[in-house]
Amino acid sequence: MTDMDLTEAELDPFEAAPLRLTIDLQALTDNWRDLAQRSGRARTGAVLKADAYGLGIEDCGTALYHAGARDFFVAAATEGETLRPYAPEARIFVLSGIWPGQEKTFFDNDLVPVLASEEQLAFWMSVIAERGDHPCALQVDTGFNRLGLSVAEALELVGDVSRPASFSPVLLLSHLHSSDLSSADSNRVQLEAFRKVSHAFDGIEASLSASAGIFLGPEYHFDLTRPGIALYGGQAAGEIRNPMRPVATAEARILQVRSALAGETVSYGGSHRLARDSRLAIAAVGYADGYLRALSGAGIPLRQAVPSGAFGFVAGQRVPVVGRVTMDLTIFDVTDVTSTAVRAGDYIELFGPNMPLEEVANAGGTIGYELLTGLGLRYERRYLDPDI
């Protein structure tokens, strides 16, 4: 009996889905424990912004909370509000800070705003003057030129006698811009600047290292590390082999396997011309699903710089993308796969344990972060529960 003989009621939605995503929560928690060990004496938090890097803030947050994480970082207050029921006793830091109209969300959900500018500081002072004490965090820019008080502004705040007595920051943080390169001189420059500020804010916990910073060693760890991409199996430190377990496996159903003759062209623009008689697998995934057009095998400017496009994995073999990735469909060359080993209805791995996330991202001229956070809405998800 084939899949087409089964009724809709008999089919598991995951087994029937054109696109499916498996999230291994055991691998996620194992990665967190690995990073906690690497963090030494520092506590280890977890970054769950962008819906836990595209993998689901509720399920990932629950798994990490039960594994022992008690400090979480999100980008927006709405993310913190979503996370709160799944991490009831945790501190949830909101990296974008607080703005007028968000006070109720912060206080009702016990969220900690990360204040990053004089404007946010002034607003927060007015909020706590009216509502009373509530924890906050301070972000200091030590060379990134992104968010944060300048070092001078932060040091001036230490001695500001006009600040309310209820102003009670619980964490000082900064962010390294080149921590994935251990030899970058800027890492040391930023470290020394952060040390200067953290010494001035005596008695307040400090956090400098995200994923890659953890690999720089103990002097970068301070009191709390805050890994993100490494939790989800992505490459953090660019100069070493990725030690993290893959967490996400993305697969697409093969809708058709077709034969094509040498000399024929493939996909939009006829940009790929076949050099041999070929078998082509048409998979139900495209750039609408976050499988980037830049992963195309031909017909895009990036192929002039990086000759090879992405590969998939099916029937135990790597198979290349041919022609352009389209909105809903991508074509893989399966000529070298035994003809009986791949057929319509099979699934091809887009990234996962056999197709490393960073390798696929590199083929598209990007990074694993973008592939994960760009996952579309059409994936049927399955979570593999951790052993807690």
What is the rounded CA–CA span in Å between residue 17 and residue 371? 20
Instruction: Report the 10 Å Cβ neighbour count for 64.
Output: 27
Same fold for the domain at 39-232 and the one at 248-384? no
Supply the pLDDT for residue 132.
87
CA 35 to CA 139: how far, in whole Å? 23
Name the residues annotated as catalytic: 49, 268
Confidence (pLDDT) at 6? 55
Cα angle 232-12-249, degrees, rounded to a multiple of 5: 20
Cβ-Cβ contacts under 8 Å for 108 (sequence gap 6 or more): none
> Cα separation of 31 and 255, whole Å?
35
DSSP one-letter code for 271: -
Alpha-helix runs per DSSP H in the chain: 13-16, 25-38, 49-53, 57-67, 77-83, 103-108, 118-131, 151-158, 185-200, 211-214, 357-363, 368-373
The residue to which tokens 């502004």 are assigned: 153
Q: What is the pLDDT of residues 63-114, one digit of tens each?
A: 999 999 999 999 999 999 999 999 999 999 999 999 999 999 999 999 999 9
Are 85 and 72 contacting, i.e. CB atoms less than 8 angstroms apart? no
Question: What's the confidence (pLDDT) of residue 354?
Answer: 98
The token pair that represents 349 in the structure block: 């791995």
Q: pTM of the entire structure?
A: 0.94
pLDDT at 192: 98
330 phi, psi to nearest 5 deg: -135, 145
- Which residues sit opposite 351 in a β-bridge? 250
* CATH architecture for segment(s) 39-232: Alpha-Beta Barrel (3.20)
On whether the CB atoms of residues 224 and 171 are closer than 8 A, the answer is: yes
Q: Which one is the CATH code of 248-384: 1.10.600.10, 2.40.37.10, 3.40.50.620, 2.40.30.10?
A: 2.40.37.10
Going from N- to C-terminal start, the domains of the chain cover 39-232, 248-384
Residues in the chain with pLDDT < 50? 1
Q: What local confidence, expressed as pLDDT, does residue 140 receive?
A: 98
